[in-house]
Chain A
């Protein structure tokens, strides 16, 4: 059974760095072809893809935020991470992680999401 769960700080101030963790089970990021992505959704708005990390540590970022994003993984503990630097109120959103794969080239399992508020 595949599950993913996001965790984060809840609230942070403008200019700080947002650190998010995705803890998953039912698959491994050391398995060929597996990947995890991050997607966010401001309240009442649409979905925006942020970044992917793959089993071979290949990484892809949304160019609209590329300079602010860093994605990483801890294969031993079945976790993926996303950092967003220099946040502002526009980064207030629910952040999701989801599984993706080379043979499954779409997000097939999603976490429940974690709400993050940027406020002074």
Chain B
């Protein structure tokens, strides 16, 4: 199985400041078709996970452009600019390159 490692596991951010979350995979997520199968989700308290970003850096429909993704191969970053109250929750990276799909342990974002 591909292991997904996120860091940090928790982060406290002052509203208006930025936050970055790192995700590392145990195997390159770059497929031979040129697509990298790495997505990011946000799970707000008591809610279902919500797709934020797919294929490293593509913003899902309706998602604020304060969210951005970057990286390649095995190292990826989610950046949240100008953090707002609604950004509180747990962020997960997940690989869809091969089954079993595997999730990172999650990064809890709180406000200072």
Contact = CB atoms under 8 A, between A and B. Distances in A.
Interface of A: 37, 46-49, 52, 60-64, 96, 100, 105-108, 110-113
Contacts, number: 52
B103 A96 contact: no
B2 to A, nearest CB: 11
Q: Which secondary structure dominates chain A's binding surface? A: loop
Given A47-B103, A62-B100, A111-B48, 9 more contacts: A46-B92, A47-B49, A49-B100, A63-B100, A105-B35, A105-B96, A106-B94, A107-B51, A112-B48
Contact of A62 (B39, B48, B99): B99
Nearest to A4: B48
Contact of B60 (A47, A108, A112): A108
B89 interface: no
